[in-house]
């Protein structure tokens, strides 16, 4: 029996599969990918099949505001900054 594969070692070290993290955060596969690409979750590719493993989040998940959910004060500041009154 050879040495354990990287994926097995990382899982033993506490990393999570994409499905596990999706379930924990309540997000879709696409959202998880976007968060990985944006640097919001830390991940590592673990094999030649292109599988990613993720470190568990250090704090409870927070959902960033959606683009159309800009706080009213920010909207007013933006309009004033552009010269609109």
DSSP per-residue codes, 12-44: HTT-EEHHHHHHHHT--HHHHHHHHHHTSS-EE
Give the pLDDT confidence score for residue 81 in this predicted structure: 53
pTM of the entire predicted model:
0.63
CATH of domain 1-57: 1.10.1660
- Phi/psi at 16 (nearest 5 deg)? -115, 150
What lies within 8 Å, CB to CB, of 14 at 6+ separation is 55, 56
Give the pLDDT confidence score for residue 82 in this predicted structure: 56
- pLDDT digit string (tens) for 31-81? 999 999 999 999 999 999 999 999 998 765 555 555 554 455 554 555 555
- pLDDT digit string (tens) for 2-39? 677 999 999 999 999 999 999 999 999 999 999 999 99
Decide: 36 and 52 in contact? Cβ < 8 Å: yes
């Amino acid at each position: 029996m050879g040495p354990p594969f990287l994926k097995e070692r990382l899982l033993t070290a506490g990393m999570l599969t994409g499905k596990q993290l999706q379930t924990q955060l309540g997000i879709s596969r696409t959202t998880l990918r976007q968060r990985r690409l944006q640097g919001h979750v830390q991940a590592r590719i673990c094999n030649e099949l292109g599988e990613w493993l993720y470190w568990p989040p250090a704090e409870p998940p927070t959902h960033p505001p959606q683009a159309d959910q800009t706080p009213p004060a920010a909207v007013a500041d933006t309009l004033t900054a552009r010269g609109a009154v």
